[in-house]
């Protein structure tokens, strides 16, 4: 039993409900700006209003829902400005993760990331977008694990969740996709060279490209 974790994971209805609602929001079934009705939703989900309200609290703290006292809960509709603000912060956090990772990366880490980069390139060659996203996620998670700052990882995750629905809807096209894959390759090179500033720049640039893709999807939603 060396460090082998056999604890049985516990969950509660609010957590399960929040996870389900998160998915519904990301997939756009609960649309941005939509007001959620507790009675209907609790019937649909097959639970009482109490855990559902607690789930709302969870999602509100993640920025996915907006709670208005006595007026219920709305799915957050991000403006282009909101998106830019979130990306601005996320770029800073990713840059930090890159710097921390450079300071802490091992050869084993680099091997694993190389393998993941190989998978990423295969998925790209196959035009397999779901697989590409999955591996992309694994690469970023690994980078965060190397950075070894749980506060950073959690903060990033929270911000990222807000944008997930939008990114889900902003598909990569050919040229953008080629560029993204090449950027990942460059990031791996910078990490292997322990080039903190270089990796930071690449991560920020990579994220900026994602921002542009999302903003393209959101044309006409500016508050200006």
Partner DNA sequence: GTTTGGCATGTTGTATACAAAATGCAAGGC
Partner DNA sequence: GCCTTGCATTTTGTATACAACATGCCAAAC
d(CA 188, CA 20): 35
Total residues found in the chain within this entry? 224
By CB under 7 A, tell whether 19 contacts DNA.
Answer: no
**Interface residue with DNA, options 30, 65, 73, 181 (CB under 7 A):** 73
What residue 36 binds from DNA, a second copy, none (CB within 5 to 8 A, per partner kind)?
DNA
What residue 37 binds from DNA, a second copy, none (CB within 5 to 8 A, per partner kind)?
DNA
Nearer to a second copy, 108 or 151 (CB): 151
* First-residue to last-residue Cα distance in the chain: 60
Stretch that binds DNA, among 7-15, 100-108, 151-159, 165-173 (CB under 7 A): 7-15
CB distance 91 to 84 below 8 Å: no
- Binders of a second copy in range 38-67 (CB under 8 A): 50, 53-54, 57-58, 61-62
What residue 82 binds from a second copy, DNA, none (CB within 5 to 8 A, per partner kind)?
a second copy
Radius of gyration of the chain from Cα atoms? 19
Q: How far is the CB of 175 from DNA (least distance, A)?
A: 45
**Interface residue with a second copy, options 152, 161, 192, 215 (CB under 8 A):** 152
CB distance 168 to 184 below 8 Å: no
Burial letters for 9-28: b for 16+ Cβ neighbours within 10 Å, e otherwise? eeeebbeebbeebbebbbee
d(CA 34, CA 77): 9
d(CA 162, CA 164): 6
By CB under 8 A, tell whether 100 contacts a second copy.
Answer: yes
What residue 95 binds from DNA, a second copy, none (CB within 5 to 8 A, per partner kind)?
a second copy
Stretch that binds DNA, among 48-56, 127-135, 166-174, 199-207 (CB under 7 A): 48-56
Q: How far is the CB of 62 from DNA (least distance, A)?
A: 17
Look at the alpha carbons of 41, 47, 52, 55 in this order and tell me if their dihedral is positive or negative: negative
Give the residues lining the site for DNA (CB under 7 A).
Answer: 10, 12-14, 35-40, 47-51, 53-54, 67, 69-73
């Amino acid at each position: 039993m060396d460090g082998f974790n056999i604890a049985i994971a516990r969950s509660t209805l609010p957590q399960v409900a929040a996870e389900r609602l998160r998915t519904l929001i990301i997939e756009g079934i609960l649309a941005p700006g939509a007001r959620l009705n507790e009675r209907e939703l609790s019937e649909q989900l097959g639970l009482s209003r109490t855990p559902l309200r607690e789930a709302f609290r969870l999602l509100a703290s993640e920025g996915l829902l907006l709670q208005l006292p006595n007026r219920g809960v709305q799915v957050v509709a991000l403006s282009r400005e909101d998106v830019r603000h979130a990306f601005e912060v996320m770029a800073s956090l990713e840059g930090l993760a890159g710097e921390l990772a450079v300071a802490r990366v091992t050869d084993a880490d680099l091997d694993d990331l190389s393998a993941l980069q190989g998978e990423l390139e295969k998925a790209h060659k196959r035009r397999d977008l779901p697989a590409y996203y999955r591996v992309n996620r694994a690469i970023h998670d690994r980078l965060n694990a190397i950075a070894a700052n749980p506060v950073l990882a959690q903060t990033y995750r929270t911000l990222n969740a807000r944008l997930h629905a939008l990114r889900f809807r902003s598909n990569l096209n050919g040229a953008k996709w080629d560029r993204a894959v090449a950027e990942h390759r460059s990031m791996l090179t910078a990490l292997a060279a322990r080039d903190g500033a270089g990796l930071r720049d690449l991560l920020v640039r990579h994220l900026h490209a994602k921002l542009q893709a999302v903003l393209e999807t959101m044309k006409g939603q500016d508050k200006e």
